[in-house]
Structure 1
Amino acid sequence: VAAEVRQIFFVINIYTPGRTFAEVANPYCRLVSAEGEEFCRYQLREAGREQALIMARLFREPGDSRWGFQALGIPCKGKTYKDSMPAVVQYAVTKPTDRTLMRQSTTMSEMDAPPATSRLGPATPPIDEVEAVGKDNTCGADCCVQ
């Protein structure tokens, strides 16, 4: 991954019209090594009534020495990832330590969120170098949303 990449979001979309995550039992996200070793897993009990789910993000930790994993579980609109980009961009400017992010999720709360399991150890707060997203949902000069 290029050094300029600060975050990677994992979004799941249901392309079939009329279907939502209310019909999906226990959606989950996991990171595995090239050898198939599972580093971490995040499983939701319920995923909302939308066609898309911002499942998690990886973010560079201070000093760029390693990546942190943040389970999100945020329902959003969109039958393709492109349709979900306004919601992804909205969360791209939040810090992983921002408690507001957790309160906005319908599947996570400060008290009863299922923790993401990880073999990587606890994440430390990220550096404050997130490029601001403009009111038109576009990133700044150093930001690339794909």
Structure 2
Amino acid sequence: MSVNLQKGQKISLEKEAGQSLNHVAMGLGWDAVKSKGFLGFGSKSADIDLDASCVLFDDANRPLDVVWFRQLKSRDGSVFHTGDNRTGAGDGDDEQINVTLGQVPEHVKSIVFTVNSFTGQSFSQVDNAYCRLVNANNGKEVARFNLSVQGSHSAQIMAKLYRHNGEWKMHAIGENGTGRTFDDLMPQIAAHL
């Protein structure tokens, strides 16, 4: 079951999954740039490099760790990135960040997921760009955002996973921004902690 989340909506991941949810993945996908010109000759657009990142925060809203293309695994090992895709080539998710919720240390209170266009294109210039949250136990999509219809923005704060009364919940933030990396979004992220 996929949930069509509205900006600002909060859900219980376990209730949506219908079971105890212990492994989630944030998937990011987009289509590679196709060559333009007559019979393959002519100009070719620049590659499109979108990046999935996540920042782990403590209960005082201080950043503890980050998982992104320059650090593919959290220091505690509970979060890992499948690797940087710089073109969008291939089917399905081009990048994934996997979180084993049961292994996330207690002092981590929230995890914020972001998407950035490292090469600077706005999402409206990228074909079939999306980000989604998946129950990695069974592959079912919990939430999905179509980025290509987001307009002239080059970044998005997608969602926040957070602990509430011993249970993981998700806040669908869906806030557009600008910047090549998660670091450019930190002032905006702070407003959602």
* TM-score bin, normalised by smaller chain: 0.5 to 0.7
**In angstroms, what is the RMSD of aligned CA positions?**
1.9
Mapping of residues 21-100 of structure 1, within 5 Å:
21-24=123-126, 25=128, 27-33=130-136, 35-38=137-140, 40-44=142-146, 46-61=149-164, 63-64=165-166, 66-92=167-193
Give the helix-richer structure, 1 or 2: 1
Task: Give aligned pairs, total.
Answer: 88
Q: Equivalents in 2 of 1:48, 1:5: separation in Å? A: 33
Match for residue 113 of structure 2? 10
Q: Equivalents in 2 of 1:16, 1:86: separation in Å? A: 21
Q: Equivalents in 2 of 1:42, 1:70: separation in Å? A: 13
Gaps of 5+ in 2: 1-103
Contact 2:113 2:157 survives alignment (8 Å): yes
Summarize deviations over 1:14-40 as a string: whole Å, max 9, x none.
Answer: 0113x111223352221232x452251
Contact 1:27 1:43 survives alignment (8 Å): yes
What amino acid does structure 1 have at the position aligned with 2:145? Answer: Q
SS of structure 1 residue aligned to 2:192: helix
What amino acid does structure 1 have at the position aligned with 2:192? Answer: Y
TM-score normalized with structure 1 length: 0.53
Give the strand-richer structure, 1 or 2: 2
TM-score normalized with structure 2 length: 0.41
SS of structure 1 residue aligned to 2:105: coil
Q: Equivalents in 2 of 1:59, 1:23: separation in Å? A: 32
Q: Equivalents in 1 of 2:157, 2:151: separation in Å? A: 11
Work out which structure has the larger RCO, using CA pairs closer than 8 Å and 6 or more positions apart in sequence. Answer: 2
Gaps of 5+ in 1: 93-146
Percent identity of paired positions between Structure 1 and Structure 2:
26
